[in-house]
Structure 1
Amino acid sequence: MSAYQRTSVGSLPLDEKLARPVLTLDHVHCRFGQHKAVSDVSLHINAGEVVCLLGPSGCGKTTLLRVAAGLQAPSEGSVFLGGDLVAAPGHVHRPPEQRNVGLAFQESALFPHLTILENVSFGLQALPKHERKSRAMHLLDRLGMAGLAKAYPHTLSGGQQQRVALARALAPAPRVMLLDEPFSSLDARLRDQIRDDTLHVLKEMGTATLLVTHDPEEAMFMADRIALMREGQVVQTGAPAELYCNPADPFVVNFFGRVNVCTGPVRNGSVLTPVGHLQAHGFPEGSEVTVMIRPEAVRVSALPDDGQNQEASHVVMSKLLGSSSLLHICAHGAEGQEMHLHARVPGVFLPPEGQPVSLSLDMSKVFMFRQ
């Protein structure tokens, strides 16, 4: 056995098969000429776990998925499937067909001359005919497509084609499912339904899954863990709640939705903002701090519009967004501070323009970073 094959996967030696992650990316780099598409990324996925690579366009997430699939060789680092080393420069590079991975992309790429059932059965040639049909029909049924088994791809809608593509990728029971923006071309309501069905099937089958998406809401819905990427590197990895509630830097805060931002110096242990003095524990006295306030952190209470509250903060605009209301507020603070603030409150709350309001904050949704 080579030294490479004796290398541990994370903290687990390779002979501990039951504890081993299904997919491990170990210090992976990927360069194209002088451009570093991926830089020193380490990631693992366990059986039954859905991990999302999340980030803006061009951050390297699709390149990383292609490295996992065997479609792209890493420039440095290694890829393990279970305990098997499948990619390492100068040592080995197994192609996709030797990795037992399922692939699904934004375009369904179904075989136009085959029926839906034949498309899903395509990768099951090693099974007896009755088993091929039974397995394919089970997956089609789980994804709501059993009634169209005899149809051809050109007769289906885009959403139906995507369901079939997912069933075809899952049919051979791959060790790892690799999904690259598979729902992005679908309209909102259909996208919600298909990704919900897909998540249930993945969990039912116990498949380790790596999903690429640029949509933070999709990542939070689908993922057990999220790896948020920027410029080829992973900025933060963790459960969706961890990234949302304990962001590592301002990029993480901003990526999960619009925020209210203000800055100020730390004086006597606090920062003065248009919403009041905020405690700045752990920041040096006199340091400049960026304060990031999620819209849902802003609590709004209407004040009597009796002429006595002319200096109070007031509503500029109210918009109903369905299950919540978005308020544009002109916030007036001490020392003449003023700020245009967004507040998101549950339910229907639509105070009129000019309505005086008092403001307070849920500090669990307020984040501070030193400039």
Structure 2
Amino acid sequence: MQFDRDRFRFGIEAEYLLADKATFRPLWHNDVTFAELHNLMEAIPFDDLPSMDGLELEPPHRKLMPYVVEGYHVPNPDFSPIDILPKGVEIRTPVCSSIGECLECLKTLHDRLEAALSGSGYTLVSLSHHPTEHHFEGPQNKRRYDFWQWAMEVMTTCGPDINVSLPRELNDPIDVADLHRKVNYYSPALAALSLASPIYRGKLWKIRGTVGKSIRTYRRSVIAPAIELHPEENGRMEFKLFEATNRLEDYHAFFLLWLTLLLDEGLKGRSRDQSRIYDLGAVARFGLEAETVRERAGEVFAQAPVVLNRHGFDAGPLNIMKKRLETGRLPADDIIDYFDETGSLEDVLKTRTGLIHGTELAQDSSVNAAALSRSRQSMTGI
């Protein structure tokens, strides 16, 4: 049975670090303030984009918009946030009816934010762990102790959340407990394909004498969930393990991999949370060479064309990830080699700026050529 792909919904929440535009020195909460960043964001127009319905106003932000300051919420005595110590910024796309529209929105929002920040001497950097800062402590800002500990831990990490809502006839039959077990089994292998944070405290991250692929995945694997489900928000399902990227074709592939996990009934692997945590620790160190990771990713790629085509999506944009699986070479390896070659953190950060409009975007079969053309004409900054 062919389902109507137009009833799927898509969204991206993409976090970015900030750097000095002139020197590419990485910035943190002691360099920028919430008030400064929020004022810059409030002035950015977005009325020509799809509706912001579905996004939430997060205090102390004053205006509902597709931009938020990411960081540590400073509380008043009743734990209401009154300020934010910035770790970076986040772009939240509107809820979109196709992958193509979502990627176009992200590109538009990114370029407008970059232009606004540039005027104040800042630039956006797609890197999943702060390259020089490694520790943060702040006043308790959550009633639950574990939530407070996590709020401090993520002050050095960034990453995208990939959001999908399915048509009701596909969403309603999902066994939530079984979905979590399936994600536990396959998600470390999918996360491995995106690893891109081998820089820690200004140097390559080494553990037991070997350079690792991702300090971000290593640090967040113990506490952070792989997915979050939001049934109260039209069934929004959020995948949280991919790493930051400045390539739109990566985002396209992230959507297709998450859709494959959600829609495919032929993937039989299942495991517990403890196994996922263990596997992510190994993946963070060894990437695709971690035990059984290639096999698990291979299962997903074998199923993807069938399940995606059945629901009207082109599996072609997964080729970039298939190549990584075949060669074993990850974005982290490019960063490691470039850092070894130049010895310059600033030069590495320069390679992680911008948002590259890859060729795979034009191949998105979930939005037809006419609709994509209209979308581009209605959005500036592409």
Would you say same fold, with TM above 0.5? Answer: no
Q: When you count strand as a share of all residues, which structure comes out higher?
A: 1
Whose RCO is larger (CA < 8 A, sep 6+)? Answer: 2
TM-score normalised by structure 1 residue count: 0.24
